[in-house]
Structure 1
């Protein structure tokens, strides 16, 4: 049977590996799924395997088990990935934007290589649109607006608006040699993926009457996510997406998911960290800079898109492992940063221990290793299949809180949780708020004619408040998580009895709704008994009452 995992032994390991791993002493031509070395052909190269083997203080038995887990973790990502491959033709039309005459030489060199090159001053350029292989430059020359098309742009000291487009490179940021290398690599056929999956049905921007969200577009460093304000639709440009995942961590409802590691895949992945300490390392980080031994029990987790991790991911990993998490990175996204702070405050209140450590150099990492405390009391597992992001976090956090009241944790600018208040005396149970809530936080219950609310899955969007037709009725409480049992259960916010039609006896509306309409219309009907009676009739009986009165009046005349 052909094995999917290969270990290229360049150091002479003195213990056996699991039977699922083929050990080779030299590069081979067979196709594998996961390899520990770049010289052995495989779908995925996992540098963390050699890194762990070299640095770990685990026993030999632990190393054998953990190396198998590292292969399996990579396999989980592959099995659950939902990305697709796309291509874009990229021709040899290049624009060089600079005021420096020395770059004439670069123009000449590129033209000798078959490129069509134009050299422009940045002062002439008004805007850049499109994407790599199809860039559109708007410029103003001698008072006339002109349009220029090109495939790629080298722009010295490029402004932010230009750098948001794919195919634009700033040699001052990545070096002249690096920019030219990118130019060459992308010429011909440019390969890209879709990094984001989108569910508009629970999006807090999609087709709302007013803008109440749009965080994903705000944090996107490119033009990969744009808002169409007129229709309230999100537009995704996968070719412009860097795959950082920052939009995923700030999406309140879970409408966005990371295709390289969907949330359900992360759930399966986390099972490999039971009784182990996860050391999360973005792929962009240089493992060679971690020149210290790994404390016993540490298992590295290499991830793409370091910005996508949100509260459901991290609480899952904490409650599965029973240990704190270490995040070794030089950058924390806005959403993930808020989540780390929130979880650390919660764990401090409950266990008086830190949940997540963040560091960016080996010295800090060594210090963290010395102070780590296991948190076995936090362990908890649920079946996350079919649950949304907020529902997962709610169930996990509810178990953590238990029967205690741990106070209030403030959320933040990029991750929102909250509550609502309803003035029951003003609520007519019209259920406009239920229709406005697409995350099932507000629900109607015909069995007792009640309106109920679960604060723990509310995205704090405020659309229910904007939709409520009653004055001084529904108010949103912003950015609070109440760590007590009632915050995780449905609360009855308003209820009423049903009103029976005075003609047929059928219940057709709440008493408050009928009384409200009656109070408004009674003065307008000026004592007309027939019209007044219709106020207390169902839709079927209203015309009958009016027709009967008309016929009786006609017969008398």
Structure 2
């Protein structure tokens, strides 16, 4: 049993407890106005019951948690949900009861199953790269908590300190890769001055007439004229040797602080444990960055955000590249190709959980796991079902990140309370995700099947450009499907807003939108496999499609944009030799042979448009056609090409196609190894070829061998 506590926050929200209680099947839903203050006893009584408690307030979450710690026998699990900034503080607040009921119902759902985790271990070995004076300044602020090594990139404006307080490296950085607790630095020591031997006596600086040596104690080769005065005055220490060969070195670190103007790792989502201050120690974020580094010593865990099933992967076959969408979209460089093993490889320590790879994956080989798709599906169906039960219409799901997106929506709600904005419309239901790019057309189309009129994704500027392009491309496919089925209007929207005012304006345009949707909501459950969920959603949308009602059972072809995960292939019969290389390359069993006849068959429902068939075809006879065939034939094999069989000239057994054998004979007829009887032997099946070879005269056998 779940106890729900609602509060109108000092009567600033027009809540209707009876309507909410009816929608939630909870007839005893008292309304509070100061649950966090004078009515706190109601909260304490609820958490002593042992039942799960849902508190419709996130503003005072910390206070409620403290009250729970002070309450004797408080054993109830507590959840919090925001109904204030998401609905109660809005121009449409009086009409927002269906949405608020939906948010409360969602909060009562069981927690998703725990996911696997990825571990990090950091002992505080910090590498600071940058001008020596700034590196030493940062080191002085972190020395009490870190084991520090400096990599000098010049002396800086003030030069370095004389006292050697930390190890100093210098040279040419060749590589820097890894993640928190496992960074690997590769560099080449290519300067005449060995910093390990240098005592910073400054004799070389005084001797150099070109002032080619700075307070980083490295020689600037562009200014040095090789007069060797510095080397002669350094005979005691022996730190300078112009004849020393450059040598390569490697070292490992747990953390990296980069103070250079150009980052060493220039990714949109750099590895955890790597921090870059573009302005050096003068950067406005310097203090916050140093505090963040202090907190990265110890052992840490994060969710393993993805599941990978190689058997579904359309990336490669026989070292031929097919679908490469996940590799191209990942801004964290966590996904790479492994053609030799016919798969992609995801490094979980680099993965930041954006989910863009799972969004663009056509087969579902990469699946998002935080939470899994079935849990997301249950969440969406509960939201939309409760919203409809409470009398809501034309629901718009607003998918947003749980950090930047949530903060922007909450700021919009506060602005609406102060009369500076309209707020979140009554029919717009915010749905928090780990990352805005973590859902795709399987869940979007399922949401429309469950009763949503529109799906909007909020981008706040924290997303990589590649993610936004991927979302636009997926939305174009989904919209083409809906419009092709006859559903009028715009069902998918990407909202790009970095300020409350921009978000307010974008949401205002959704108030009057009334796109066409199925008359009845679907009841299917979202599955773990993407393609299965897509088919369930499409089946429901097709059955209720206005175009189908108008045209009856006539077949309908819906053209789709390039990159669609649905489609057909076309085969040039004049080029195709029925070698069937495409059949062995197809990862989805869309292309099939016929064991009883030389045929190339195709099941359109299985095709994911990965491109492996056309990249494998030696005759360049295959082209892809992105589309959706709305007809029963979509699930049935159709013959794309067939040919007369070639019969063995010795035993008569068919073993290939006439066209393929004739093509082979034509290509090899001029080859020295295939003349006379050797060419005739190509017209035989494998068994007869061997028999004929070993029954021929000895001189023929020698020639052939």
TM-score, length basis structure 1: 0.80
Distance of aligned partners of 1:342 and 1:161 in 2 relative to their CA distance in 1, 3 Å threshold: same
1:108 corresponds to which of 140, 147, 152: 140
Name the SS of the counterpart of 1:376 in structure 2. Answer: coil
Map 1:253-272 → 2, pairs under 5 A: 253-272=363-382
Give the Cα separation in 2 of the matches to 1:385 and 1:109: 52
Aligned residue number for residue 642 of structure 2:
495
Distance of aligned partners of 1:80 and 1:364 in 2 relative to their CA distance in 1, 3 Å threshold: farther
Q: Give 1:15 deviation, angstroms.
A: 2.1
Give the Cα separation in 1 of the matches to 2:689 and 2:584: 27
Aligned residue number for residue 356 of structure 1:
492
Q: Give 1:493 deviation, angstroms.
A: 0.4
1:167 corresponds to which of 247, 266, 273: 273
Aligned residue number for residue 154 of structure 1:
257
Map 1:540-555 → 2, pairs under 5 A: none
Aligned residue number for residue 441 of structure 1:
590
Name the SS of the counterpart of 2:509 in structure 1. Answer: helix
Indicate whether 1:202 and 2:233 are aligned: no
2:401 corresponds to which of 257, 274, 282: 282
Q: Give 1:249 deviation, angstroms.
A: 1.8
Q: Does the Cα contact within 8 Å between 1:87 and 1:190 map onto a contact in 2?
A: yes
Q: Does the Cα contact within 8 Å between 2:487 and 2:515 map onto a contact in 1?
A: no
Distance of aligned partners of 1:293 and 1:187 in 2 relative to their CA distance in 1, 3 Å threshold: same
Q: Give 1:259 deviation, angstroms.
A: 0.7
Q: Give 1:150 deviation, angstroms.
A: 2.1
Q: Give 1:386 deviation, angstroms.
A: 6.7
Give the Cα separation in 1 of the matches to 2:377 and 2:313: 22
Q: Which moved more, 1:134-143 or 1:304-313?
A: 134-143
Give the Cα separation in 2 of the matches to 1:481 and 1:174: 51
| Aligned-residue CA RMSD (Å) | 4.2
Q: Does the Cα contact within 8 Å between 2:583 and 2:592 map onto a contact in 1?
A: yes
Q: Does the Cα contact within 8 Å between 1:433 and 1:468 map onto a contact in 2?
A: yes
1:350-409 Cα offsets, whole Å, 9 max, x none, are 333011123223332342233310423376748577785346446645725644757633
Q: Which moved more, 1:423-432 or 1:32-41?
A: 32-41
Give the Cα separation in 2 of the matches to 1:87 and 1:341: 38
Name the SS of the counterpart of 1:433 in structure 2. Answer: helix
Name the SS of the counterpart of 1:439 in structure 2. Answer: coil
**Gap regions ≥5 residues in structure 1:** 551-557
Distance of aligned partners of 1:235 and 1:371 in 2 relative to their CA distance in 1, 3 Å threshold: same
Q: Give 1:194 deviation, angstroms.
A: 0.9
Give the Cα separation in 1 of the matches to 2:249 and 2:51: 51
Map 1:473-484 → 2, pairs under 5 A: 474-477=621-624, 480-481=626-627
Q: Does the Cα contact within 8 Å between 2:643 and 2:659 map onto a contact in 1?
A: yes
Q: Does the Cα contact within 8 Å between 2:646 and 2:658 map onto a contact in 1?
A: yes
1:41-97 Cα offsets, whole Å, 9 max, x none, are 699965544444524646586367423432156x4xx4356x212332211222233
Indicate whether 1:92 and 2:124 are aligned: yes
Name the SS of the counterpart of 1:369 in structure 2. Answer: coil
Distance of aligned partners of 1:509 and 1:127 in 2 relative to their CA distance in 1, 3 Å threshold: closer
Indicate whether 1:193 and 2:303 are aligned: yes
**Gap regions ≥5 residues in structure 2:** 66-75, 155-170, 192-245, 389-394, 414-421, 549-553, 698-705
Give the Cα separation in 2 of the matches to 1:499 and 1:142: 68
Aligned residue number for residue 555 of structure 1:
none
Q: Give 1:7 deviation, angstroms.
A: 4.5
TM-score, length basis structure 2: 0.65
Q: Which moved more, 1:436-445 or 1:267-276?
A: 267-276
Indicate whether 1:343 and 2:494 are aligned: no
1:7-61 Cα offsets, whole Å, 9 max, x none, are 4758377626547899984476989697653335699965544444524646586
Q: Give 1:159 deviation, angstroms.
A: 1.5
Distance of aligned partners of 1:96 and 1:547 in 2 relative to their CA distance in 1, 3 Å threshold: closer
Give the Cα separation in 2 of the matches to 1:443 and 1:382: 33
Distance of aligned partners of 1:468 and 1:388 in 2 relative to their CA distance in 1, 3 Å threshold: farther
Q: Give 1:468 deviation, angstroms.
A: 2.7
Give the Cα separation in 2 of the matches to 1:44 and 1:497: 72
1:229-274 Cα offsets, whole Å, 9 max, x none, are 6555433221221111121122232211111133333333332224
Aligned residue number for residue 451 of structure 2:
321
Distance of aligned partners of 1:146 and 1:446 in 2 relative to their CA distance in 1, 3 Å threshold: closer
Aligned residue number for residue 433 of structure 2:
303
Q: Does the Cα contact within 8 Å between 1:324 and 1:375 map onto a contact in 2?
A: no
Q: Give 1:128 deviation, angstroms.
A: 1.3
2:615 corresponds to which of 466, 479, 492: 466
Q: Give 1:120 deviation, angstroms.
A: 3.1
Q: Give 1:195 deviation, angstroms.
A: 0.7
Aligned residue number for residue 79 of structure 1:
112
Q: Does the Cα contact within 8 Å between 2:87 and 2:100 map onto a contact in 1?
A: no
Q: Does the Cα contact within 8 Å between 1:85 and 1:192 map onto a contact in 2?
A: yes
